[in-house]
Each structure stands twice: as C-alpha cells, then as structure tokens.
Amino acid sequence: MKNYENIIVRKMNGIMWLTLNRPEMRNALDSQTLNEMDSAFTDAESDKDVRVIVIHATSGKAFAAGADIKQLHEREGLEMLAPGMQGLYSKIESSSKVTIAAVQGYALGGGCELALACDIRIASKNAKFGLPELNLGIIPGAGGTVRLAKLVGKGRALDMILTGKIIDGEEAERIGLVTYITEEESFTKTIEKVSSDIMKKGPVAVQLVKLALHKGFDLDSGSAMWIEKLSQVVAFSTEDKKEGTLAFLEKREANFSNR
C-alpha cells in the first residue's frame, strides 16, 4: 500500500479502509486529497483481494466538511469544466468494488456528495448531513443534485439544497439518505457485518449487479432490462455460478473463485 499525506489506506480481510485524515480541517477535500483518493481507487480496481472499500475518517467530528473553500475561492468559471470532484465521484460510483461510506460527524457539501456516490451509507447517530453550497453562492456540483434527488426524491432534495439545512443521522435514515444508522459503540461492528455479508456472495455477481443497477437506473426500463439480461448471461457463464448452485444442492457453503 502506498503512503499518502491526507489519507491512510489499509487492507484487511478483503476490505480496503480509506481513511480521510485531515481532522484539523474537518477533512475538507482539497485537490491533493482528491488526487490521493483517485490513486487509491485506481490501485484498488486491479487488486483482486479487495472486495469492499470503506471510506471513513480518523476523527468522529467530521467525515468531510466538503470541498476546500480556500481553493474554491481561487477558482474561476471554466476551470470547473475539469472532471475534478465530480469525475472522481463518478469513478467511485462505477468502481467494480462495493463502496461503503461510514459517516461520523459532518458530511457536508462535497463530503455529503462523496457519501452519496457510494453504494451503501452507514451513519452513526452523531452524523450530520447537508448541502450548504448555496450559502457560498455556488451549487452542489459533485453529483449532489442528481444522486440526492434519486435517493430521497426531488422534493426533499430541493428542500435540503435550497434551505441548506443540516439533518442528523436518524432523519437521514428516515428519508432514505443513509442505509444503516448505528450507535457509536456498534459503528465498526456494523461496517464489518455489512462488508462480511457482501463478501460471502459470488464476486462476479456482485460486480454485475452493481453494473445493472447503476447503469440501468438512468435508462428507460426496456433498456435497463436488457442490461440485466446480459449481465445474467455473463453470470451464467462463470465458475462461481456452477459453484454457488452446486453448494446449495450439496448443503454446504459456496467457495467462490471470482471466475
């Protein structure tokens, strides 16, 4: 694993833990942090031992307080055409690995959008979510207008974005922004349990179902059905499918080979 300055990357039992590590800046996502995350995701993509990527933070105070406002202040119009944060989050969303955002403390602006780009969001009760970009005279520009509306509906997304209100973990779970809400003490256990449930599944099938859901969601249902159908054709051509069905018939645990 590479050494980075603003993030820590560790690999353990199939999980890659990507820790945001600028607690004194509430993990504000400056360009260096985004570049380091990009590099960690590129490496993970070709690492067969990594099945799940958990993004979390060193301090319980903040998951990430958004883009680095000092850097935003210096940027102008056309510079924002670069892929930047939006491009990285799209890369995270289309990763072949399952991604989990594990949120304690503030997930604001680009921090909230980072969580939205992950497959699953686990929040502790002290989590706080919000998209306060309008306070700065800008808009959520890292997928927030798109992904939040898909998760919680257009009405609630507009309310959150227009008022800039900050909601707690329980409210976020109630409206469907987060998948799991846990007590502080059971936070790590919940992350490990969800990861371990996923890692028991056929790895190729996990990859295929992510593709079918993420790509299919943006399409008309006829096209999405075709993606599902073709993904199933691929699944039926794998060793894992033979092993998974045989293991059921032999009343034993499947031993998948990721082929």
Q: Where are the alpha helices (DSSP H) in 14-153?
A: 31-45, 69-74, 84-93, 110-117, 144-152
Give me the 167-186 binding string for ligand CO8, x by CB under 6 A, dash otherwise: --------------------
Residue 57, Cα to own-chain centre: how many angstroms? 13
Can you tell me which of 14, 60, 87, 141 binds ligand CO8, judged by CB under 6 A? 141
Residue span binding ligand CO8 (CB under 6 A) among the ranges 130-138, 151-159, 200-208, 211-219: 130-138
Which residues belong to the active site? Answer: 113, 133
Task: By CB under 6 A, tell whether 85 contacts ligand CO8.
Answer: yes
Residue 110 interacting with ligand CO8 (CB under 6 A): yes
Question: What's the number of CA atoms in the CB half-sphere (13 Å) around residue 43?
Answer: 14
The window from 64-72, 118-126, 219-227, 233-241 that contacts ligand CO8 (CB under 6 A) reads 64-72
- Provide, rounded to whole angstroms, the least separation between the CB of residue 3 and ligand CO8: 24
Binding segment for ligand CO8 among 13-21, 57-65, 185-193, 238-246 (CB under 6 A)? Answer: 57-65
User: Which tokens in the block code for residue 134?
Assistant: 């309008």
How many other C-beta atoms are found inside a 10 Å radius of the C-beta of residue 189? 11
C-alpha to C-alpha distances, 200 to 55, 212, 234, 240, nearest whole angstrom: 20, 20, 19, 12
Pairing of strands 167-168, 128-130: antiparallel
| Interacting residue ranges for ligand CO8, rule: CB under 6 A | 25-26, 28, 61-62, 65-70, 84-85, 106, 108-110, 132-133, 136, 140-142
